[in-house]
Amino acid sequence: MKRLQAKNLFGLALAAGLFIAGPVFALGLDPAFPEPAFGPAKAKGVVVWSHGRSINAEDSQSPTPAYLSVLREDGWDVMRFDRLSKGDTLTDSTKRLIEYTGQLKRNGYKQVVLAGQSFGAFLSLMAADSSSEVDAVVATAPAAYGSFDDFYDSWRLNATKLYPLLEQVKRARIMMFYFHGDDFDPGGRGERSKAILASKGVGYSIVDQPAFLTGHWASSSGLFLRRYGNCIRDFANNAKLSSELPCAPRWGTMPSADLKLPPEMTDPQAMRTAAATPSAPNGSGVGGDTAKPTHSFRDTWYGFYPNGREILFGVESARGNDLNAVYAIGPSIDNKHPAAWTRRKGHIDDETFVFEEPGKSTIRLRPRQDGGLGVTWMAADGKTSMTAHLKPIDPHSLARRAAATSAPITAAATHGDGDQPED
């Protein structure tokens, strides 16, 4: 019943026979998000996402990847091509995907973009080979022939079967993502894919082994959305693209305007005052003694968690082994947890900065040889933890960021310590 209601909400005039065509185990098209569709007349186009295929699980139950929300917010309708694993073959599922593409075009959608993960990426590329009605493909971690560990004999086919697909694409723009540490990737696919698509004269974008994103499922993470969501949006919108579209994400290199900090930490005058305060000889900001916080950062580190939330850690003052610091975290990708910051009291224990207070999360930061910090966060109840790598940044850049963005400071950011930023 819920599935039927969702389809009614989507408001597509797909032929009834299209949903029941083929084997009885076929699920068909479903809306990817609960909001009503824009419809063919108002939408920029429609994106059809195809999930992967597992041996011992039903990927039709897997969540829609977060990056597709960027396209939804940009005016695209977004659908899922849901399939049960039984009978989900490259040939049969590609045929159905082509039929759906043609029907969506006949319904009036100006563009049809096929997006897919793993096995779904192969389906999307095969549909683009067979149908000139496919306008673009976004393929993440394409794989259809097993992993290195479990299917070594056929594992290399994830490369050798992929290249002919790219050579046969009719007219679609192609965007592809290959990730470091993907056990389904034989390696070398990025450069070969780029060479093939460049020779065809189609629009393309190849993101090969991007920093900070590892593993076969990297595109499902909040971090992938933060770093590449805008580039995917630009690629989908560029209907006239006929050459390479480079993707060079800026998110994560410096704190964004979404990261909230104490007002005095972004005040240029406070930064000038801090410049007159000598730092510790080792650059850690913990070697000297100060009686009270200067309300400006002596040393600052920045990074992000795998879920796509930014982190900033700034030492305000040190007295012996005791530390006063600000810990700030950016909003969650679904905006259910806003950006917030809190002042924390901690100490140095065997070269580790330790912040543990009753009722609060525990934060441990250990210096790295590159000048950064390895941070481990653990929830107050001890049930959840995350790790990240923070890099040192110039505290004065925070004042420059505030002057450039003039982002409003919320009441929570003004008062601090009132939220639970680690949620």
Q: Could you read off the pLDDT of 291-315 as tens digits, one per residue? A: 344 456 778 999 999 999 999 999 9
**Most confident stretch, 49-58, 353-362, 408-417:** 353-362
Q: 3-class SS at 114?
A: strand
**If you average pLDDT over every residue of the chain, what do you get?**
84
- CA-nearest of 117, 116, 118 to 136 is 116
> How many angstroms separate the CA atoms of 160 and 177, rounded?
17
pTM, 2 dp: 0.82
Q: Taking residues 99-127, report their average pLDDT.
A: 97
CA–chain centroid gap for 72, Å, is 15
Residue 216 has pLDDT above 80, yes or no: yes
Residue 101 has pLDDT above 50, yes or no: yes
Band of the pLDDT at 397, cuts 50, 70, 90?
Answer: confident
pLDDT tens digits for 180-195? 999 999 999 999 999 9
- CA-nearest of 249, 356, 345 to 304 is 249
Q: At what angle do helices 396-405 and 268-275 cross, to 10 degrees?
A: 170
Tokens 């580039």 locate to 231
Three-point CA angle 241, 230, 330, nearest 5°: 170
Please give the structure tokens belonging to residue 192.
């070969």
> How many angstroms separate the CA atoms of 206 and 190, rounded?
7
CA–chain centroid gap for 176, Å, is 15
The predicted structure's pLDDT at residue 179? 98
Residue 281 has pLDDT above 50, yes or no: no
> How many angstroms separate the CA atoms of 423 and 406, rounded?
26
Q: pLDDT higher for 416 or 82?
A: 82
Residue 13 has pLDDT above 70, yes or no: no
The predicted structure's pLDDT at residue 406? 41
Q: 3-class SS at 264?
A: helix
Residue 412 has pLDDT above 70, yes or no: no
Band of the pLDDT at 10, cuts 50, 70, 90?
Answer: very low
Which residues pair with residue 300 across a beta bridge? 314, 393
Helices marked H in 238-373: 268-275
Radius of gyration of the chain from its Cα atoms, rounded to whole angstroms: 25
How far from 402 is each of 337, 415, 419, CA to CA, in Å?
A: 22, 17, 22
Q: What is the largest distance, in Å, between two alpha-carbon atoms of the chain?
A: 77
The predicted structure's pLDDT at residue 273? 54
Q: What is the DSSP letter of 61?
A: G
Residue 12 has pLDDT above 90, yes or no: no
> How many angstroms separate the CA atoms of 13 and 300, rounded?
55
| 404 exposure class (CB count in 10 Å sphere: 0-12, 13-18, 19+) | exposed
The predicted structure's pLDDT at residue 395? 85
Q: pLDDT higher for 56 or 207?
A: 207
> How many angstroms separate the CA atoms of 354 and 360, rounded?
12
pLDDT tens digits for 222-247? 999 999 999 999 999 999 999 999 99
Residues 80 and 51 sit within 8 Å (Cβ to Cβ) = yes
Band of the pLDDT at 404, cuts 50, 70, 90?
Answer: low
The predicted structure's pLDDT at residue 3? 41
Residue 4 has pLDDT above 60, yes or no: no
The H or E element that residue 224 is part of is helix 222-237
Q: Taking residues 339-359, report their average pLDDT.
A: 93
Residues comprising the chain, all counted = 423
Residue 21 has pLDDT above 60, yes or no: no
Band of the pLDDT at 2, cuts 50, 70, 90?
Answer: very low
CA–chain centroid gap for 381, Å, is 27
